[in-house]
Structure 1
């Protein structure tokens, strides 16, 4: 297949010993469809189609490192060895199709014990529990509730924080056993580690609260513990909310400071999102336009001198290509656009290179598509001549 030498989107990237075949990543997207955190056919088909669609790396959704770390009863989990077989099946299929399997390790903190979004998303309680799905107590950096009407979370003790750090490490080791090549630590979107980072949620009075350095210390401890437990050929990423989007909240300069410390801890890339500390990451005070979070990825990439991933309303191949050409990011994360078009990556290659055929499509469909293209060409030519 002919390729344009100027096409940056399809140049491989080596990241922490992992070779990613192109720069297109399917971002973690919660499906709220698991039972006790176990992968089922929905996850295999939902994520498998992105690998068939040509993405260089495909993320499993946020996977809870403890049972009480879930957002909802439908979250994926990685808190026990019972989760490994399903995750292994998923990672194996992604790898077989040429995509790098990746997984995001998460704990919801005070945003946990909630109904699924299509059930309203409110905190579970005696009045809105669903059959067989009781609520559970939530924890956080401090005791501030997400909303004033919510029950306050319990402030994590030092002993609980130490145990939870071990839970993250054990979860990462399970991910390796399942065949994942990239591990991402979720420190954004208002979930537990973001709750430590942001002054809007962290009201601790000990060495894990107050100053910026103190608020960063626990997420940094976990990142360092993960790096130490992972082999060098496994890439470690961290997703952050680069800004809270609220007055007196976490800001871009804080993210640059945190990014420098993450780099020192051996993190290979920073995945730059935003918002979520006071609710949904999609409903905050941040102005949303095409590529609205790309400037965060660019600023951190330049200031920290670390690879970054850009995400957020990147909808077009030309747009993605320009982000890479301008040096604003190293990887392009696609989420909702992939829900609309699971073959976004393969179509992007054809958009950027009109000479591209179907050679990179799954072999099971190439012949059919080649024949169809020839037929359409003949019909188009005949229509013009008539």
Structure 2
């Protein structure tokens, strides 16, 4: 019987060994605050490749210093940062997996204190402590964060160039694919949403205006990366708030992204605005999968599903029923970096996924298979 989760998938010239992908997950581990990858990142991403993932997407990586969520984020705005990522790419490749990188700009949610190790996690970082002035489509703050400045057209052009320059460095570092972050309330999502974009120029108004910045960036990146290299975009397909960017607009956006040369969309949700009192996101196993399934059904775009898909048979069901093309497994891999190997065993997959050095630890399970 075919095990969909363990079947290779090809996007352009890239074939990935299976459909178990690790999504970007912020590490806030650049203690030097220079955006340069550290031994932590080498170990972190290498462990997922050794643990059976088909592909790994490196965490949100700032295309500009002011585009970082926190000063401890990775960056790719200079060549030293590029060079530090080369060993990460080479290690993942040596372990049989593909690797991409998520290019990001945090917009009005930038310049914050990391999730751990600071007195006020998630709060704005004062300039005296290394913070900076944030930018957004409109000069409106997110929750209690510091108010941003609205980008003018020169600032928008600067952001477009930064994404393109970072993409070029990603190609030079040897990454297999690039993902543009347009979800979770960060800059490109802020432009997409009528809740945060109140511009009256050509970057605001209807969906075509609000999507203009993202599509400009997609076009710039697609034009400079190799023709056989996949380009991905991550979106929040619902804001879970009335009047926000919703599944209908997401469907149109994904159709446009297909026309502009994007090869896969990862479907997440939320993050752009605090929920009104009494509103609750229906968080639970696979809670975002219906959004992915809708977009896969109503567009021609390959889709990856993410969000509390933690069990191998649950992941297999999502693929077997045509709700997505790839499963992104995040926190389950943090809990067990060998999740991919365990999934392969549970689904009676190919033992070749298990490194030869480790197979003696799996002999009983392999015999049962």
Q: TM-score range by the shorter chain?
A: over 0.9
Aligned to 1:304: 299
1:157 corresponds in structure 2 to 152
Secondary structure at the residue paired with 1:117? coil
Q: CA deviation at 1:368?
A: 4.8
Shift of residue 210 of structure 1? 1.2
Q: Which of the numbers 364, 370, 377 marks the counterpart of 2:357? A: 364
Q: Name the residue aligned to 2:95.
A: 97
Residue 256 (structure 1) aligned with residue 251 (structure 2): yes
Q: Deviations over 1:184-236 (max 9, x none)?
A: 00000000000000011101111111111111111111111111111111100
Matched, 1:8 2:9: no
What SS class does the counterpart of residue 214 from structure 2 fall into? helix
Maintained 8 Å contact 2:345/2:365? no
Is residue 116 of structure 2 the alignment partner of residue 121 of structure 1?
Answer: no
List alignment gaps of at least 5 residues for structure 1.
378-386
Any idea what SS the aligned residue of 1:195 has? helix
Q: Mapping of 1:171-190 within 5 angstroms?
A: 171-190=166-185
Cα deviations by residue, 1:59-108 (Å, 9 ceiling, x for unpaired):
11010000110000110100111111211110110011001011000000
Shift of the alpha carbon at 1:160?
1.2
Q: Is the deviation greater in 308-317 or in 225-234?
A: 225-234
Distance 1:21 1:136 in 2: 42
Aligned residues, how many? 361
Match of 2:21 in 1: 25
Match of 1:329 in 2: 324
Distance 2:54 2:341 in 1: 10
- CA–CA separation in structure 2 for the residues paired with 1:274 and 1:16: 27
Larger Rg: 1
Q: Residue 68 of structure 2 aligns with which residue? A: 70
Give me the whole-angstrom Cα distance separating, in 1, the residues matched to 2:350 and 2:167.
Answer: 39
Within a 5 Å distance, the mapping from 1:268-287 to structure 2 comes to: 268-278=263-273, 285-287=280-282
Residue 19 of structure 1: SS of its match in structure 2? strand
Shift of 1:279: 5.2
Counterpart of 1:88 in structure 2 is 86
For the aligned residues, what is the CA RMSD? 1.8
Q: Which residue matches 2:338?
A: 343
Q: Displacement, 1:47? A: 1.2
Q: Could you tell me the TM-score, scaled by structure 1's length? A: 0.90
1:366 offset after TM fit, Å?
Answer: 2.1
Separation in 2, partners of 1:98, 1:58:
11
1:143–1:203 CA contact under 8 A, matched in 2: no
Residues 144, 203 of structure 1: 8 Å contact kept: no
Give the Cα–Cα distance (whole angstroms) in 1 for the partners of residues 350 and 78 of structure 2.
Answer: 44
Aligned equivalents of 1:145 and 1:136: distance in 2?
14
For the 8 Å contact 2:109–2:145, the answer to whether it is kept is no
The answer to whether the 8 Å contact 1:173/1:229 transfers is yes
Change (3 A) 1:373 1:287: closer
Paired residues of 2:100 and 2:178 also in contact (CA < 8 A): yes
The alpha-carbon deviation at position 305 of structure 1 amounts to 1.4
Distance of aligned partners of 1:156 and 1:51 in 2 relative to their CA distance in 1, 3 Å threshold? same
Question: What's the counterpart of residue 197 of structure 1?
Answer: 192
